[in-house]
């Protein structure tokens, strides 16, 4: 049966040995309590919760799904109790400010715990995950009263939150949204409209749900510049701050979907529900954007989660399942056949998962260091972190979910026909993963954000901020023969990243559609370069450890071997992406709409 | 809601205009009745059956699935009635010999009908599909009496068939199978053992089920050379040829699986069931291999089926769904937003589906012409067709299912978040497709078959048989400026195909594991070259039609545009596969088994 073990050794390698989190915490204002001992203790407790409580509920969630009856959603058996344990453990408050009852620990420490929760049971993890989105919004844009009323309850975990953006006719194109907000005499607003795809919109795990809702004021300009943001609680809150009567918001139905069955995806009906404006009128989208990067990083994590889960279970199966002999002669002659891990192609699938999972882990935790700095650094540090994060977010979100889906499929494939059967859990992993390329902005939208908004609109300045970091790293290690093959390839590719950007920029000046035509291949190219940078860094760290002398020779050697695999077998994909993205928009735009299909001839 | 329209125009383009099926039938012995009128009439009737009867049952099959109770399997509502109509329409007998009640029409004509059945409802189509496997076995290896008793009933469709190969501990590695066959005094055999993953192993659609079972005689040598083949009917058959008492074979359970819910995947228990030897003792696997290519071509078709289904539904959605404006300015200013088909990246996803579906169609029907020739040609023609088929089968099976899965995922992606929701049908298409890369030999197994058995074991002779065809085609069209870009690229790639084969062959002489290390990338490389050949042929045909003058300018222009898209944007993937496959086995073999994961540190 599938199971999850927290990869504490690898989290430690990435965060401590490669990214030097302890050095980072030592300098980060207000992170004094995040001592090595404290971090280790938190990770150990988080690992226990993920392994013992959440992991066993992962399959239950898929099988039972959420049930909907008369507006009430019942979550799968055990979900509610697990949430109770989560609240009692103090987990919701970990990285929120002390003023609202939080523990004030760095976001990046929260992300390490979130990685374990996410991987052990993604569907369950979405309930607290959505709360974090709501908390960030109120934290940044709410009034003191709103913080006191709502934020403290979210931070304690007594209540959960949602983000209500999508409507039936608009997902990507929020400028089209129709939900209305009419001002009332008491200063509140009456919210009316229908929202769809609202994760955790209704459930039985907490006493109240705080919906963050995008809606239009009566005099609002059309399009994205006329959208405001509101708090709409499921239950109104009385003067004592406790749950009072029901607000006019209700769940109309839940979706039947491919995966993440344990999470309720709701249609939410607002029928003149009482809401409270957050931030300034008509600036709702701007308020959203301030924490969009953090939310997208949370979805990027889903790619890593499913890759790690696939890896753990398919490695175990590949060592256990006996089938055929190695072409080069029996490796386990005493057995009826060799374990399939001897076959090179099975190893190719395992190493692909490993390269994406462990490379993705480095990228995710690097980004979450940037989040720390964005919140707590000096003005200069904040500006730099913000710029890097704005570049890396669409890459992390789209590249890690695309490669996470590939990894999940390799995991299934290692199981042969058994991979298709529910009880092995590999097909659930693929189904659960599939949503990650869609929500929080599809891969296509991330790619436009990257190439259009982040790279070309800044005349490449944002990109250069990161390519310079790579360049500096390559320069530092240029003379190091031990890692020469990585550094040479990375340096070349880093230069090419700039070159192809320039070429596409030139084309785009003649025809803006060149941006959309190149965007996804550009994003995937960028993702492979970014992961190559982290694999080179990991290789340097591992090589140093080996040279210093270590009793973990196998662990560090495997890092070097995985880096080599990544450079030899995955990085060549940049050739295909480069050629495709430079082929121009004509091969996409030439066809008349009506000529895509001829079915009635 | 998702629906299927038979792509008759495109089937006609591929089979008549590109592959000249009418010329082929005119020369094919015994194919006199397959006149253009007859072919057209059959396709039209087949299209009606697929569109009106099977397509509406596709979602029903997924939602209801098969039910199992006390050894009895109930298929989804309407499946049984559809099968009755199929039998009454005479469809099972279409391409089987007249001596056993068939219509004697060419296999390739049957394949055109099968394409429509397969695409409209894959799960349903598997029931008659498995029967064809059983029929082919008995047709080639059964005694006259076996043909009279079983084949006639299968050909009429009164009974259905299965193929019982896999056991819990062996799928790929059939040499390990344990099912026993003990000779009885009456010349029959008592079959005992457990088979798993038996598609259509039990159901309520026909009066009897004819199982073709692999088992071992008591004195059989170990491994694959000790496997014999048996007929084991669900119900014994009396002297009058009618269904009699129940045989000792029963369905123990059905699998809960990712997709193809409408098809029953059974655990079959044989408890001393009465069986009859087919062919010679211990030669069972050889008997299987004689029609393995045909069976695998049937699975290759699944890739095309899901790509076509995805294409039809995502093109319709992309023309209908309004979201955002084109970056180059509004294309439908009268609407609230532009239809998403204006966005280059949406077109990239649609054209990828189109290139794989229509290119796959050409490959499939080319292969089914080879099947015709293998059955009805002269000795020389048979030998050539057999050699080509042996090369193309693993390519078609693995490449078309891998790219079919990619296409199915693009289809889902075009729908954004809605793609993840069951009612749109796109996620079912992805789930149903996923099995195609696993059964009938995984992608990895096809790749070993291609590179090891077909290419290297023949010292490249089998490969050269096909590269010569491409070479000849390129030579013929070298001076043709209209299609120069395709021909130049194809010719170069065809040469490279030979070169990389040589290089891998050299490496393999030193280390046999180099074969497995290169195999899947080699197969995918080969697939892209093969499809490039068919896209070039289609481009030549389309260009000729346009130059001759036609009132279908849009149709033929779209062929040229899709060919250009394929060459510009998909063919560059050969760069990544070539580089990866030549990178050697060391980057896969170096890692110690125990170093793939460190979870308890």
ipTM of the shown complex: 0.98
B555/A598 touch (CB, cutoff 8 Å), yes or no: yes
Q: Which residues contact B116 (CB under 8 A, 6 or more apart)?
A: B6, B43, B46, B47, B49, B50
Q: What is the mean pLDDT of chain B?
A: 97
Out of B173, B259, B520, the one facing A345 most closely (by C-beta) is B520
Strands B208-215 and B228-233: antiparallel
Q: Is B555–A595 a contact, with Cβ atoms under 8 angstroms apart?
A: yes
User: What is the DSSP secondary structure assignment for residue A582, as one 8-state letter?
Assistant: T
Q: Do B315 and A7 touch (CB under 8 A)?
A: no
User: Which residue of chain A has the CA closest to B551?
Assistant: A601
Residues of chain B contacting A256 with CB distance shorter than 8 Å: 421-423
Which residues of chain B make contact with A341, given a CB cutoff of 8 A?
593, 596
> Do A576 and B580 make contact, defined as CB atoms within 8 angstroms?
no
Q: What does the pLDDT average to over A436-442?
A: 97
Burial of A245 (0-12, 13-18, 19+ CB in 10 A): exposed
**Which residues of A does the annotation mark as catalytic?**
440
In the numeric block, the tokens 């004021």 are attached to: A217
Statement: residue A393 has pLDDT above 70: yes
Whose tokens are 């891990």? That residue is A341
Q: Which residues of B touch A324 (CB under 8 A)?
A: 172-173
**Inter-chain CB proximity B8 and A601 less than 8 Å:** yes
Chain B residues closer than 8 Å to A5 by CB: 599-600
pLDDT digits (tens, 9 = 90+) for B248-290: 999 999 999 999 999 999 999 999 999 999 999 999 999 887 7
Residue spans per domain, chain A: 288-448, 459-588
- pLDDT of residue A417 exceeding 80, the answer is yes
Give the whole-angstrom CA distance, residue A279 versus residue A282: 9
Per the prediction, chain A carries an average pLDDT of 97
Closest CB to A572 among B176, B343, B575: B575
Nearest by CB to A595, from B173, B512, B558: name it.
Answer: B558
Q: Is B260 left (phi over 0), alpha (psi -120 to 50) or beta?
A: left
CA B329 from chain center: how many Å? 43
**Cα A297 to Cα A368: distance, rounded to the nearest angstrom:** 8
Fold that domain A288-448 belongs to in CATH: Butyryl-CoA Dehydrogenase, subunit A; domain 3 (1.20.140)
- Quick check: B342 and B300 in contact, CB under 8 A? no
- Single out the residue of A507, A476, A478 nearest to residue A585, CA to CA: A507
Query: Per-residue confidence at A1, pLDDT binned at 50, 70, 90?
Result: confident
What is d(CA B294, CA B120) in angstroms, rounded to the nearest whole number? 21
Residue of A nearest to B4 (CA): A599
User: Smallest CA–CA separation between A143 and chain B, in Å?
Assistant: 33
Number of Cβ atoms within 10 Å of the Cβ of B222: 9
The answer to whether B438 contacts A419, with C-beta atoms less than 8 Å apart, is yes
Mean pLDDT along residues A432-446? 97
Q: How many residue pairs from chains A and B have C-beta atoms closer than 8 A? A: 308
pLDDT the model gives residue B464? 98
Contact between A593 and B515 using a beta-carbon 8 Å cutoff: no
- Comparing CB atoms, the residue among A6, A572, A595 nearest residue B557 is A595
Which chain B residues have a beta carbon less than 8 Å from that of A442?
A: 413, 416
Contact B253, B198 (CB under 8 A): no
Quickly list H helices, B415-512.
426-434, 443-448, 461-477, 484-510
What average pLDDT score do residues A329-335 get? 96
pLDDT of residue B292: 77
Residue A491 pLDDT > 60: yes
Query: Are B600 and A10 within 8 A, CB to CB?
Result: no
Which residue of A345, A417, A583 is in closest CB contact with B447?
A345
pLDDT in tens, A267-323: 999 999 999 999 999 999 998 877 677 789 999 999 999 999 999 999 999 999 999
Q: How many CB atoms lie under 10 A from the CB of residue B272?
A: 15
CA angle B166, B167, B169 (to 5 degrees): 120
Half-sphere exposure of residue B373: CA atoms within 13 angstroms, side-chain side: 22
pLDDT by residue (tens digit) across B484-542? 999 999 999 999 999 999 999 999 999 999 999 999 999 999 999 999 999 999 999 99
To the nearest whole Å, the CA of B453 is away from the closest chain A CA by 12
pLDDT at B288: 84
pLDDT at A601 over 60: no
d(CA A133, CA A147): 14
Quick check: A600 pLDDT over 90?
no
- Closest chain A residue by Cα to residue B426: A258
- Overall average pLDDT of the A186-207 stretch: 98
Give the tens place of pLDDT for each residue, A502-549.
999 999 999 999 999 999 999 999 999 999 999 999 999 999 999 999
In this complex, do A513 and B328 lie within 8 Å of one another by their Cβ atoms?
yes
Contact B417 A326 (CB under 8 A): no
User: In angstroms, rounded to a whole number, what is the distance separating the alpha carbons of residues A135 and A106?
Assistant: 15
The CA distance from B166 to the nearest CA of chain A, in Å, is 10
Are B568 and A583 within 8 A, CB to CB?
yes
Of the partner residues B171, B416, B517, the one whose CB lies closest to the CB of residue A442: B416
* pLDDT digit string, tens, across residues B116-138: 999 999 999 999 999 999 999 99
CB spacing of B599 vs A312 below 8 angstroms:
yes
Q: How far is CA B440 from CA B96, B198, B302, in A?
A: 22, 12, 12
B contacts of A439 (beta carbons < 8 Å): 417
Q: With contacts defined as CB-CB under 8 Å, which chain B residues touch A574? A: 576
Q: Is the dihedral of CA A371, A377, A379, A381 positive or negative?
A: negative
Catalytic residue from among B139, B202, B387, B440:
B440
Encoded tokens for B246 = 């129940």
The pLDDT of residue A351 is 98
Partner-chain contact A599 B312, CB within 8 Å: yes
**A260 closest CA partner among A409, A443, A72, A435:** A435
Smallest CA–CA distance from A446 into chain B, residue: B345
Is residue A399 over pLDDT 60? yes
pLDDT at residue B182 tops 60: yes
Q: Tokens 């078309």 belong to which residue? A: B400
- Closest-CA distance, A475 to chain B, in angstroms, reads 26
Share of chain A above pLDDT 70, in %: 99
Burial (Cβ within 10 Å: 0-12, 13-18, ≥19) of residue B289: exposed
């Amino acid at each position: 049966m599938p199971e999850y073990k927290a990869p504490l050794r690898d989290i430690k390698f990435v965060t401590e040995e490669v990214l030097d989190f302890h050095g980072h915490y030592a300098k980060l204002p207000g992170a004094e309590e995040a001592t090595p001992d404290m971090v280790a203790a938190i990770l150990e407790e988080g690992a226990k919760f993920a392994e013992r409580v959440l992991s066993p509920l992962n399959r239950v969630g898929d099988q039972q799904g959420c049930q909907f009856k008369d507006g009430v959603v019942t979550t799968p058996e055990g979900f509610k109790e697990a949430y109770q344990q989560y609240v009692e453990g103090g987990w919701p408050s970990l990285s929120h400010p002390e003023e609202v009852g939080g523990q004030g620990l760095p976001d990046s420490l929260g992300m390490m715990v979130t990685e374990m929760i996410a991987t052990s049971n993604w569907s369950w993890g979405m309930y607290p995950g959505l709360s974090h989105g709501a908390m960030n919004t109120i934290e940044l844009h709410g009034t003191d009263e709103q913080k006191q009323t709502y934020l403290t309850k979210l931070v304690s975990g007594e209540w959960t939150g949602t983000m209500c953006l999508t409507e039936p006719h608009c997902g990507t194109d929020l400028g089209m949204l129709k939900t209305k907000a009419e001002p009332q005499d008491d200063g509140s607003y009456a919210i009316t409209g229908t929202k769809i795809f609202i994760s955790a919109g209704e459930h039985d795990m907490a006493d109240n749900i705080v919906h963050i809702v995008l809606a239009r004021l009566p005099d609002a300009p059309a399009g994205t510049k006329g959208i405001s943001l509101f708090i709409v609680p499921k239950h109104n809150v009385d003067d004592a701050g406790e749950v009072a009567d029901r607000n006019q918001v209700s769940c109309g139905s839940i979706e039947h979907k491919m995966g993440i069955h344990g999470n309720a995806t709701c249609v939410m009906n607002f029928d003149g529900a009482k809401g409270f404006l957050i931030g300034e009128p008509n600036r709702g989208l701007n308020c959203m954007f301030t924490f969009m990067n953090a939310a997208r990083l949370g979805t990027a994590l889903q790619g890593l989660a499913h890759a790690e889960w696939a890896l753990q279970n398919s490695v175990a199966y590949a060592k256990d399942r006996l089938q055929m002999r190695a072409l080069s002669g029996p490796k386990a002659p005493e057995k009826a056949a060799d374990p399939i891990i001897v076959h090179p192609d099975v190893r190719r699938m395992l190493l692909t998962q490993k390269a994406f999972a462990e490379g993705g882990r480095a990228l995710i935790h690097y980004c979450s260091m940037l989040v720390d700095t964005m919140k707590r650094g000096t003005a200069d540090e904040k500006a730099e972190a913000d710029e890097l994060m704005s570049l890396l977010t669409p890459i992390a979100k789209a590249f890690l979910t695309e490669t996470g889906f590939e990894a999940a499929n390799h995991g299934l494939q290692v199981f042969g026909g058994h991979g298709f059967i529910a009880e092995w859990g590999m097909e659930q992993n693929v189904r659960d993963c599939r949503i990650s390329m869609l929500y929080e902005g599809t891969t296509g939208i991330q790619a436009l954000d990257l190439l259009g908004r982040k790279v070309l609109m800044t005349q490449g300045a944002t990109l250069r901020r990161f390519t310079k970091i790579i360049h500096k790293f390559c320069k530092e290690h240029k003379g190091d023969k031990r890692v020469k093959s990585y550094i040479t390839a990375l340096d070349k590719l880093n230069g090419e990243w700039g070159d192809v950007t320039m070429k596409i920029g030139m084309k785009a000046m003649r025809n803006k559609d060149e941006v959309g035509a190149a965007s996804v291949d550009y994003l995937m190219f960028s993702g492979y370069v970014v992961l190559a940078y982290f694999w080179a860094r990991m290789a340097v760290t591992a090589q140093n450890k080996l040279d210093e002398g270590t009793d973990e020779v196998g662990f560090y050697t495997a890092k070097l071997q995985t880096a080599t695999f990544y450079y030899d077998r995955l990085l060549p994909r940049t050739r295909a992406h480069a050629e495709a993205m430079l082929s121009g928009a004509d091969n996409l735009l030439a066809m008349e709409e009506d000529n895509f299909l001829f079915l009635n001839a």
